Structure formats: C-alpha cells, structure tokens
Amino acid sequence: MSIIIAPSILAADFSNLQKDILMVNNSNADWFHIDVMDGVFVPNISFGIPVIKSIKKNATKPLDIHLMIIDPDRYIKTFVDIGAEILTVHYEACNHLHRTIQKIKSLGIKAGVAINPHTPVSVLKDIIKEIDLVCIMSVNPGFGGQSFISRTYEKINKLIKIVKKEKTNVLIEIDGGVNDKNSKKLIDSGANVLVAGNFVFSSKNPKETINNLKQNIYN
C-alpha cells in the first residue's frame, strides 16, 4: 500500500491560502487534510463552509475532511456536497456511530473514524469492517503545533491486531506532531497516512519539506 501525505491546512497561511493550496497541488502530497472545529467538541474554531468551498475550487487533490464537531450527522451531506472525498467523524462525538458511518458511505465517499489520545482502539472492533480509515490522534485535538504522544506507536500495533483478526483492511492515519523524526517509525509501525501541519507550513520551503518527508519514508 502506498504512503499518503496529507498536509493539514489548519497550519497554512490564512492570509494567502491560495498560495499554500497551489503549493500542495504542485508537491508530492496526496491529500488536503482539513480540520473542521466547532469550539464545543474541541476548544477552537476553524474552517466554515465558504472557506472549504474555496479550497475545493482550487485543489487538485482529494479533500480529507476531519469533523471535530458535536452532532456531525447534521452536516454530513453538506460536506459531501462541497467536495469531501474522505469524511472522518470522532468516535467520541457520535451516539450512533454505525448509523453515521452508513450515512457517509451511502453518499458515495470514504468514511473514517477518529479517536482521541485517551480512547482505546478496542472501541473500534465492532465497526472496523464498516470503515475505510482510522485516524489516531497523536496530540489532543483542537490546536496545531503540539508535541507528538509516543504511546501512538502502541495504539497502531493494537489496531493492526484488530484489523487482522477481523480480516479487513483500513487506512491508518496519524494526526498530530508528525515530522521527519517520527515519520519513518510511524510507517514501519503500520500507519499509511500521515497528516503534517506545522512541520510543513512553518518550514522555509514547504514543498521541499513535503517531498523530503515522503522520500525519508521510503529510504
């Protein structure tokens, strides 16, 4: 399975978002990772619908939209309509997770489930065959620039055991604190989608940073 790099637009330059979108288009990145926050589920507010529409208009790569919001079911169709190709909801935000996943998949896109650092991967055992992606939060959600939580490696290993036992296949996405120091170990542990925010957009040459990150994984 090929490795996917998904720059997190939360860390981009909001005063010149188009420049950063074009940079990602022209880089070796594979997806745009877009965090949607409501200020309730997480202590921050991020992109609204108009901004994501604008990103979609200029993006040439899939939009990986991560809903960090309460009651995500109310907005699933809206995000599909504006261009989500992967839509991830939080286990902790869904009272009826199976129904939520079914709704996303019925609209013809990939469905993902994210879990916070304190949530064990074992909660996904009964839903794992229904989903396309598991997003393991390797920082506490809500803000960029946080330090990577090293227990993430153990969670990847436990998740892989569940996936193998259930004889299914999912993408394993790591979100938070990803950089050139931990990317190879994450991939070697079994992850195949890396979300990188501050590490990419705070670098002097973000395009080169993305390219080097991908090259580092394969070396």
pLDDT digits (tens, 9 = 90+) for 40-92: 888 788 888 999 999 999 999 999 999 999 999 999 999 999 999 999 999 99
pLDDT at 95 over 90: yes
Q: Please answer whether residues 65 and 75 qualify as being in contact, where contact means their C-beta atoms are separated by less than 8 angstroms.
A: no
Mean pLDDT of 1-5: 87
35 is catalytic: yes
Q: How far is the C-alpha of 203 from the C-alpha of 213, rounded, in Å?
A: 12
Give me the catalytic one of 30, 64, 132, 175. 175
Does the predicted TM-score (pTM) go above 0.75? yes
Check residue 2 and give its pLDDT. 87
Domain extents in the chain: 4-218
**Fold observed for domain 4-218:** TIM Barrel (3.20.20)
Task: Name the pLDDT band for 145 (thresholds 50, 70, 90).
Answer: low
**Residue 140: what pLDDT?**
85
Q: Which of 20, 30, 35, 64 is catalytic?
A: 35
Q: Are 183 and 145 in contact (CB under 8 A)?
A: no
The pLDDT confidence band at residue 112, using thresholds 50, 70 and 90, is very high
